[in-house]
Amino acid sequence: MGPAARARPAMRWQPVALAIVLLAAAGAPAEAHAVLVRSSPSHRAVLAQAPERVELWFNEQLEPAYSTMSVWSQAGLQVDRRDVAVGSDDPRRLSVSLGTRGPGQYTVKYRVLSVDGHIVDSTLTFTVKGQRP
């Protein structure tokens, strides 16, 4: 058997070997987490008037029983109405209404559990320059 005949079987395995190497290099798929994609008000927004609600939108559906949000004043007082809810029309939206809405900086704290089982815990801030009439 000549060298060309011996090379043919090896050439048949090259695509398979390449596929195995590429799959191994890719590794396991990355685990997904609920990612905040939009908020109202937006992070670091400076507003003339305070909003009536704070709303957060995520890239994944949230587990209502394990997703929460609160809004805090600069003085460390909770100023939301404690009516946080996952949207019935959009299970990726979390919202809470505000009680006190005077000028100052506010911190929104949230902790959500996405339907894939991952917890995301973070904050965002916004500032109100004027007072709501």
Higher pLDDT, 32 or 85: 85
CA-derived radius of gyration, the chain: 25
Higher pLDDT, 24 or 109: 109
The residue type found at 124 is: L
Contact (CB, 8 A) for 33 and 114: yes
10 Å CB burial of residue 47 (0-12, 13-18, 19+) is: middle
The model carries a pTM of 0.73
Strands (E), 59-118: 68-73, 85-86, 93-97, 104-113
Quote the CA–CA distance of 41 and 51 in Å, as a whole number: 7
Spans of all domains in the chain: 36-128
Higher pLDDT, 22 or 62: 62
Strands 85-86 and 68-73: unpaired
Quote the CA–CA distance of 18 and 3 in Å, as a whole number: 23
The CATH architecture annotation of domain 36-128 reads Sandwich (2.60)
Query: Residue 65: is its pLDDT beyond 60?
Result: yes
Query: Residue 30: is its pLDDT beyond 70?
Result: no
pLDDT of residue 3: 58
Average pLDDT across the chain, whole number: 84
The angle subtended at Cα 56 by Cα 51 and Cα 62, nearest 5°, is 145
pLDDT of residue 16: 54
